[in-house]
């Protein structure tokens, strides 16, 4: 299982929100510029470290997210085929398009 991706997504969203207020927005002008810059850089660093943790889990430890048991089997099979470690074992773009079109028509 990957690190808590939901938490990573929330922190990246927080980073984006902080980027809107740091360092020179109208709402943040009462704070010193260095403080705003510190907040912005800290949030950027946290987001970067969480992304690095996810990349490490996938590339080094070969971990993948798990699917809910209610997930359609065709979708799960396609995702797992795309995650193949050896690129030669992954479906081509054309094959992926055909499989996705089949999923849509089977709905």
Peptide bond into 82 cis (omega under 30): no
Distance CA 60, CA 6 (A): 21
Q: Same structural domain for residues 40 and 77?
A: no
Q: Same structural domain for residues 50 and 9?
A: yes
pTM of the model: 0.49
Residues 6-60 have pLDDT tens digits of: 565 555 655 555 555 545 554 555 667 787 788 888 888 888 888 888 888 887 8
Per-residue confidence at 92, pLDDT binned at 50, 70, 90?
very high
Q: Same structural domain for residues 13 and 50?
A: yes
Q: Same structural domain for residues 10 and 51?
A: yes
For the record, the structure tokens of 44 come out as 């950027």
Q: What pLDDT score was predicted for residue 56? A: 84
Distance CA 49, CA 106 (A): 41
- In which domain, by residue range, is 79 found? 73-105
In a domain, 98, yes or no: yes
Virtual torsion, Cα 64, 65, 68, 74, nearest 10 deg: -50
Q: How many domains does the chain have?
A: 2
- Percent of the chain as helix, strand, coil, to the nearest 5: 65, 0, 35
């Amino acid at each position: 299982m990957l690190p808590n991706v939901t938490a990573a997504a929330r922190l990246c969203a927080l980073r984006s929100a902080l980027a809107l207020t740091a360092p020179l927005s109208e709402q943040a002008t009462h704070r010193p510029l260095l403080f705003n810059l510190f907040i912005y850089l800290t949030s950027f660093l946290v987001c970067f470290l969480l992304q690095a943790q996810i990349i490490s889990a996938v590339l080094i430890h070969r971990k993948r997210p798990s699917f809910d048991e209610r997930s359609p089997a065709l979708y799960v099979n396609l995702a797992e085929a795309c995650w193949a470690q050896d690129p030669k074992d992954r479906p081509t773009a054309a094959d992926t398009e055909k499989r996705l079109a089949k999923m849509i028509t089977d709905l």
